[in-house]
Amino acid sequence: MVAVKKITNVFRDHRAACTTLREILILKHLDHPNVLRLHEIYIPSTRKSTDIYIVTDLMETDLGSVIKSRQEISTEQLLVIFFQIALGVDYIHKCGLMHRDLKPRNILLSRNCDVRICDFGLARPEVTDGPLTEYICTRWYRAPEGMLSLYITYSVTILQSFWFSHTLPQLIFGLWVAY
């Protein structure tokens, strides 16, 4: 089964067009069981249409919804989920990318605890020539240097481990941070 994501008015401004194009190009090249798979892209043939359709794996929910629902999560399920997230993040880093918007809403889940990382619109190559845009992910999941707009060359693994330190307690203790 697949999901169809409709992106409306994709060319409304430069930022939206770049974000959409970046996500499509990245998803097209990534191939890992814990990263959302791009199946197809449909662009309407009419010149007036500014919408595009992206066909991806179908996932039932996201980690943010699971946390917010306060449903019981067993230790085994928790370990399986976080192991898959770690595998996906490791793969993304090995591909030389920084996700930059890793948050519970961008971790998709199936009923079988299959995990897919999604939303690569803010992703960038690990090696850059200078500072990146200040907007990166939701504030609760931002590493300190991202919040302070500092250009520090830490390992991407260190920066995204900051995300793990915020999300794991939410799952274990059922805490929910609105974002």
Catalytic positions: 101
Q: Which helix (H) or strand (E) holds 7?
A: strand 2-7
User: In this structure, what DSSP letter does residue 101 have?
Assistant: -
User: In this structure, what DSSP letter does residue 36 have?
Assistant: P
Q: Is 68 left (phi over 0), alpha (psi -120 to 50) or beta?
A: alpha
Given a contact cutoff of 8 angstroms between Cβ atoms, the answer to whether 117 and 99 are in contact is: yes
Task: Give the whole-angstrom CA distance, residue 36 versus residue 59.
Answer: 9
- Of how many residues is the chain composed? 179
Burial of 31-69, coded b for 16+ CB within 10 Å and e otherwise, reads ebebbbebeeeeeeeeeeeeebebebbebeebbbebbbe
Amino acid occupying residue 85 = I
Q: Is 114 left (phi over 0), alpha (psi -120 to 50) or beta?
A: beta
